[in-house]
Amino acid sequence: MKSVVFEDSLFEECYFEDITSSNTFFKNCTFISTVFYNTDLFEYKFIESRVLNSTFLHNKEGCQLDFSDDNNAYMIYFVSFLGTLAVLPGNIVSALLMDKIGRLHMLGGRRGFPPLSLF
C-alpha cells in the first residue's frame, strides 16, 4: 500500500499479511479481532484509532525503505552526476595522450610504430 489514508473505517475480523506500506495511515479507525502478520504497520500509523482484541505477529523490523519522499529523484541524478565527475580525470588524461601520440597509435596500443592498415 502506498500513500493510502483510511479515515473513519471499521476493520472487523480482517487478516493483514505481508503488508509493506509507504506513507499509509489509519485515522480514527476501529480494528476488532484483526490479525497483522508480517507487516510494517507500526503504532505511529494508527492516528486516534482503536485496536480491540487484535494481534500483531512477526512485525517487520529494521529500517524499511520508504520511497514516499520527493527527494529520491534528486538523489538519483546527484549520484549519477558524482559518477560522471569520478571519470573526468581519466577522460582528461585520455584526451591529452590522444593529442600527444595520436588516435590510431592509441587505439592500436602501439607507440612509435606506424598504424596498421585495414585495407
**Domain of residue 21, CATH code:** 2.160.20.80
Closest C-alpha to 4, from 22, 28, 31, 20: 22
Beta strand residue intervals within the chain, DSSP E: 5-7, 10-12, 15-17, 25-27, 30-32, 35-37, 46-47, 50-52, 55-57
**Does 115 map to a domain?**
no
Residue 52, domain extent: 5-57
Are 64 and 42 in contact by the 8 Å Cβ rule? The answer is no
Report yes or no on 43 lying in a domain: yes
Residue type, 77: Y
- Looking at the fold, whether 46 and 79 belong to one and the same domain comes out as no
Domain count, the chain: 2
Please give the model's pTM, rounded to 2 decimal places: 0.51
5-46 pLDDT, tens digit per residue, is 999 999 999 999 988 887 889 999 999 999 999 988 888 899
Pairing state between β 25-27 and 46-47 = parallel
